[in-house]
Amino acid sequence: MKRKASKKEGISILKRTSVVTDYLSTGSTPLDLSVSCNKSNYGGIPSGRITEFSGGGATGKTYICGELCGDALRKGYDLVVVDDIERRWDLSRIDTFGLSLSDKRFVYLDPGSSTIEGCFETMFQKLDKLKSGEKCLYIVDPIAALYSRVEVEASDKMGQAKAKALQKNMRYLRDRVYSGSGTAVVFSNQLIDAVGKSFGPKKIVPGGNAMIHWPSVRVRFSVPKQGKITDTDSPAGKEITKVVGIRIHGRVEKNSEDDAFRESDFSIQYGHGIDDILDCALWLKTYTTGLDVDGKDSKWFGLYDHSPVYTLRKFIGFVERNDLEEDLLDLTCSLYRKVYKTKVRKGRYRRDEAESNGE
């Protein structure tokens, strides 16, 4: 039987506020906007939520986690914890993100626990010590490297110990994160082949469906076939071509805070990091006509209608020399919201009305 909600219930639902208090930047403006452009001016990963980054090897998951840590400290977070499961964070280069082991707010767990139960026990201890109003970012990189204690004891007869342990601990984590505490929990995850399936996705995440159901935001990274960034140089007199970076494609697989299935591309330059100016320029070239000046080839760029035109490399130099990074960022954000802004309607959706309005 259908039950109608009472007026009191309706009022309580309308008065309930979101527990998302802040948004953390991944270092890439197009990626931030693809996650939450309708909720934040500059987008980003929501706090008070669980987020999962998944992808194959060398797709920038760990680097994105480092960018999140640096942004959290710059925004005054009281605690930033990194549980490096695979022990592969290069501590000599974390200053690139603005991190330092001497900072008491930054906690690097090495060695952390290798079991699911131990990892979550440490996490719960850290989160329970937070005082009211304190903000925390907790990163587990990667969750796929953990195993269950039952597997170690060789008593996993059904082969579902890891999935059961993840499902149980994610339920406990939900109460600590979704209670309006201002805590952001980020898991990086790896993809494995879906063996024995004749249909469905070819790549899945390990550990059952826990990492599919519980995170509010899930982003999957991949490297396209033409994802290598190359450059030519002649250090010994002969011109050579070398790989200087990669282009990464991000797809929002699940999003409880904003619209899902948005896609974005960002680049990581070896030795430098995310080239956000390049990402914004390429996005503007792809989705707008404002940078295609006088019908010329799309490789010519200009920041505004009255600005001169450049090739991509000269355009990046023009932006850096004239300190126009903020202008480029604001232009990208404003145009992105125009393209992907969600129209909220009251009442039931009717196709005939939408067609009459030209939608």
Domain boundaries, the chain: 20-274, 277-342
pLDDT of residue 349: 57
Rounded to two decimals, the pTM is: 0.85
pLDDT of residue 3: 42
Q: Is 345's pLDDT higher than 70?
A: no
Q: Is 111's pLDDT higher than 80?
A: no
pLDDT of residue 301: 62
46 DSSP β-pair partners: 23
338-348 burial code (b ≥16 CB/10 A, e <16): eeeeeeeeeee
Once rounded to an integer, what is the mean pLDDT over residues 72-77?
A: 95
Token readout for 142 is: 């990667």
Q: How high is the mean pLDDT of the chain? A: 82
Dihedral angle over CA of 26, 32, 35, 37, nearest 10? 150
CA distances (Å), 69 to each of 7, 176, 200, 262, in order? 43, 20, 35, 24
pLDDT of residue 310: 66
Write the CATH number of the domain with boundaries 20-274. Answer: 3.40.50.300
Q: Is 359's pLDDT higher than 60?
A: no
pLDDT band at 356 (very low <50, low <70, confident <90, very high): low
Q: Is 78's pLDDT higher than 90?
A: yes
Rg, Å, the chain Cα set = 23
